[in-house]
């Protein structure tokens, strides 16, 4: 089946527009068509939230599909992943109260007002179209990387910036990014933030990690009023120099937890189930598990099942950071190891360590196979 050619900005569209042109099997997203488009013919094309002259619309045949803009405070057809600047548009960290007027907060407030499980068909359609567009943009970016270079870091949102594990996760994120990995997380605070901070600091000397963590330590929890301002302040003082990208994948379902601005790209979803399943499916280079609770437990066993059944074609490493935690507090590691040894689970590439360097070695050894 012929694939649609995606056109997501006017610069890509302009060379196609000339008198008598026939554009066949294109998908246009968020394009503002000018008068020149009237001189073209469109066959089997899809238009996502595009603006077009009436004359052009009238000439479209029944083989074209037009999905119009919907009345919503959010764009149902984002053509690319969010950047922190876009998601936090309207927020000034020097004026913390401005958070209530930023784009992300306005979407969250709308989401809550309509209900997490909305019943209005226009709202549910807008959310579904938005999440489809985000997934499309996410996979466009993933296509730039070898799939084994995509590594996830999972862990608790409540991990404090003052906890020694936070610093360890920053180092893991930094060293993986410096070796060409694309870091992906759930995009929230705690361990997720730490991984993105590491990727943000990639290219600098390791000593900057302690400097950065010290700058953030006066607001240890995401519940602290200075949690987000301190992150933006750090980004201003230690700008991104390494060129390493990372993707946060948060959800408005947990919108009370602000998305970390240290992620260079943000794939934010309305539907948490799509986000959860997708995050593990794309982490084909392995997952580093840092201490967490119920949500992390769910991810561990979902990942284990994915590896057991070779859902993605092959199994990927499951690296657990924190020996005491994963064998005592939440003894999931000996459970999985025992189940694997008895053959109840197959294809599990398990390892347990307390050292960031060892966690990185396990991931990189898999990539070099």
- Residues 114-172 pLDDT 10s: 999 999 999 999 999 999 999 999 999 999 999 999 999 999 999 999 999 999 999 99
Amino acid 34: pLDDT: 81
Does 74 have pLDDT greater than 90?
A: yes
Question: d(Cα 230, Cα 221) in Å, to the nearest integer?
Answer: 11
The structure tokens listed for 85 are 């600047």
Its pTM stands at 0.94
Amino acid 220: pLDDT: 98
pLDDT tens per residue across span 110-121:
999 999 999 999
Q: Specify the range with the lowest mean pLDDT, choosing from 66-75, 101-110, 133-142, 277-286.
A: 66-75
pLDDT tens per residue across span 185-203:
999 999 999 999 999 999 9
Does 18 have pLDDT greater than 80?
A: yes
pLDDT tens per residue across span 19-54:
889 999 999 998 988 877 778 899 999 999 998 998
Residue with tokens 């967490």: 292
- Residues 49 and 68: beta-carbon distance below 8 Å: yes
Amino acid 39: pLDDT: 82
Question: d(Cα 208, Cα 123) in Å, to the nearest integer?
Answer: 45
Amino acid 182: pLDDT: 98
Amino acid 72: pLDDT: 87
Amino acid 81: pLDDT: 97
* Mean predicted confidence (pLDDT) in 240-253: 95
Where b means 16+ CB within 10 Å and e means fewer, 228-264 reads: bbbbbebbeebeeeeebbbbbbbbbbbbebbbbbbbb
363 φψ region: left (φ > 0), alpha (ψ -120 to 50), beta (else): alpha
* Mean predicted confidence (pLDDT) in 93-113: 96
- Residues 259 and 248: beta-carbon distance below 8 Å: yes
Sequence-ordered list of residues with C-beta below 8 angstroms from that of 83, at least 6 positions apart, any chain: 264, 265, 266
**Phi and psi (nearest 5°) for 6?**
-90, 130
Residue ranges and CATH numbers for the domains of the chain are 5-67 (no CATH), 145-367 (3.40.50.450)
* Mean predicted confidence (pLDDT) in 214-228: 97
Amino acid 283: pLDDT: 97
The structure tokens listed for 303 are 């990942």
Amino acid 266: pLDDT: 98
């Amino acid at each position: 089946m012929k694939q649609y050619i995606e056109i997501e900005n006017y610069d890509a569209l302009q060379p196609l527009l000339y008198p008598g042109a026939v554009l066949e099997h294109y998908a246009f997203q968020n394009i503002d068509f000018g008068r020149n488009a009237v001189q073209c013919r469109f066959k089997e094309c899809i238009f996502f939230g595009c603006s077009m002259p009436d004359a052009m619309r009238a000439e479209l045949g029944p083989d074209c599909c037009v999905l119009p803009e919907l009345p919503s405070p959010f764009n149902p057809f984002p053509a690319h992943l969010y950047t922190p600047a876009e998601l936090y548009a309207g927020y000034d960290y020097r004026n913390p109260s401005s958070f209530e007027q930023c784009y992300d907060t306005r979407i969250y407030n709308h989401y809550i007002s309509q209900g997490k499980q909305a019943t209005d068909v226009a709202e549910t359609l807008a959310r579904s179209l938005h999440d489809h567009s985000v997934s499309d943009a996410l996979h466009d970016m993933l296509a730039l990387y070898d799939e084994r270079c995509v590594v996830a870091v999972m862990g608790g949102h409540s991990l404090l910036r003052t906890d020694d594990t936070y610093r360890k996760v920053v180092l893991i994120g930094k060293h993986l990014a410096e070796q060409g990995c694309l870091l992906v997380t759930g995009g929230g605070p705690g361990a997720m933030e730490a991984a993105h901070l590491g990727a943000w600091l990639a290219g600098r000397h390791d000593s900057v990690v302690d400097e950065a963590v010290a700058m953030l330590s006066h607001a240890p929890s995401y519940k602290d009023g200075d949690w987000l301002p301190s992150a933006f302040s750090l980004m201003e003082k230690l700008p991104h120099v390494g060129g390493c990208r990372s993707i946060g994948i948060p959800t408005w379902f947990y919108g009370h937890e602000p998305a970390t601005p240290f992620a260079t790209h943000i794939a934010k979803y309305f539907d948490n189930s799509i986000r959860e399943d997708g995050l593990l499916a794309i982490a084909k280079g392995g997952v580093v598990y840092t201490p967490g609770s119920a949500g992390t437990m769910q991810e561990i066993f979902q990942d284990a099942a994915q590896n057991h059944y070779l859902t993605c074609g092959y199994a990927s490493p499951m690296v657990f950071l924190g020996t005491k935690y994963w064998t005592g507090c939440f003894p999931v590691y000996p459970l999985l190891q025992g189940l694997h040894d008895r053959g109840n689970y197959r294809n599990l590439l398990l390892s347990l360590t307390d050292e960031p360097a060892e966690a990185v070695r396990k991931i990189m050894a898999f990539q070099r196979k």
